[in-house]
Each structure stands twice: as C-alpha cells, then as structure tokens.
Amino acid sequence: MPDSSRQLVIRFQELTAVPDWVWDRIDLEFLCLSDNKLTVVPENIGRLSSLRALDLAHNALRTIPNVIGDLPRLSDYLYLADNQLTQFPAAITRLARLRYLGITHNRIQELPESIDALASLVEFRAYNNQLATLPESMGALANLRELHLSNNTLTELPASIGRLSELRILDLRNNNIEALPASIGELHNLLYLDLRANALTTLPGAIGELPRLQKLDLRWTHLDGTPPCVYRLERRGCVVLR
C-alpha cells in the first residue's frame, strides 16, 4: 500500500458529491469514498493518474465514468460493491493491469466478451448479481485464482472455464446450474469447489481427477445418488460435503 500521505479515506460522511479539493490531490495512490451516498463520480477523477486502488463501494452509483478506464496505474484493486449498477461498466475492461475486481451486490445481468482484456486479474468477485450466463472469453483470464459467482442465476458454465489453469477457488453456490462442462476437470490447481444449492443431478467424471481439490461442497443439490467421482475424491482425502 502507498504511504499515508498518498492515501485518502472519506467514509461514512453521507456525501452526495465529492469535494472539489479531492481532484487536486494528483499524487493520490489510494482513494476510498465508500459508505456514502454518491450517485455519480465526476470525470475529474481522471486527473488522479497515480491511483493504484479505488474503493467506491456502498454508495448509490448507477454508472461509473468512462475515464476510469484510462487511469494508467489502477492495478491493486477496484471495488464497486453494493451500488446500483445494472450493466458491467465497459471502461473497466481497459484496466489491463487490474488484479482485483469486486462488483458484488449490484444488479448486473451479463459480463462482456471483452472481459478477456483483464489479463492481470487474480481475483474476481461478482456474487449477488443477476448473471444468467458467462461469456466464453472468461477462459482467457489466465492469471485468475479466485472466481466468486454465488447468488446469481447461472444455468450453465462455458466450456472455456477449463482454461483457467491458475484457479484455486470456484464458488458457484446458489445458482440454477443443471450440468457442468467436462472441461472443469482441467482445473488442475483447483482447491475448493462450492456447488451448493444448484440444480445438478449428475457430475462429470473428470471432477474425480482434480489432483489438488481439498473441498467439494454438494449440499442442497439434486444428485441422483453419489457419482463414482465423489468416491474417488474421498478416497484420496478430499472433503466432500453432501
């Protein structure tokens, strides 16, 4: 994190507008404006070209300014949780250096195909939205280690999910997924797979071959008996909750 002189935190102030003097702090590397009542963020944020981390969570934002995508050093994280976003902000896909993205607790219905431009993303939290599908381009996020998608309306996953070779955590709890692609068996670094409260009736046999899986949660699914792949996982020490 940056030194304290380059951090600015303005929380719980019930702000409806950002004070103009904030935009004069062009040396800022970390800016937190969370837990206010902001409905817009002005284009002036584009002046903060040193920003590495930006927290706009817990406001009432319906959009974010396009200029955010042009912040050249925004790489540590962008946190937009608990706002009123209904669309994934297109500007985000220009943040090729971004490592953490949080868009939880919004009303976003889809992710763009251009999400593959977030080549540096390590952790993506998009739970508590209204996502019904995922784009095939998700599979291009080669550095992704955590993908949190619980409490959406997903019915399936793209086959490209198997290309997320660095993935450690995949949380799909409380969706409407009826079947998983066989490619999920290619997630050789996966440690934790949460499938709770989905409409699954079977599992692809390839899940039983995941070499590093430590925990598989199958509670509140509709499996027709116990698939053989589950027994294989249990025999090698994987904790399976069912």
pLDDT digits (tens, 9 = 90+) for 159-183: 999 999 999 999 999 999 999 999 9
pLDDT digits (tens, 9 = 90+) for 224-238: 999 999 999 999 999
Q: Is the pLDDT of residue 18 over 60?
A: yes
Q: Which residues touch 240 (CB under 8 Å, ≥6 apart)?
A: 215, 216, 217, 218, 230, 233, 234
pLDDT in the model for residue 71? 98
The stretch 193-212 carries a mean pLDDT of 97
Q: Is the pLDDT of residue 53 over 60?
A: yes
What is the spatial distance between Cα 61 and Cα 41, in angstroms, rounded to a whole number?
A: 8
pLDDT in the model for residue 1? 47
pLDDT digits (tens, 9 = 90+) for 69-107: 999 999 999 999 999 999 999 999 999 999 999 999 999
Enumerate domains of the chain plus CATH numbers: 4-241 (3.80.10.10)
- H/E segment holding residue 111: none
pLDDT in the model for residue 3? 67
Q: Which of 15, 87, 117 is nearest to 56 (CA)?
A: 15
| Residue 96 Cα distances to 31, 40, 74, 120, 165, angstroms | 19, 24, 9, 6, 19
pLDDT digits (tens, 9 = 90+) for 107-160: 999 999 999 999 999 999 999 999 999 999 999 999 999 999 999 999 999 999
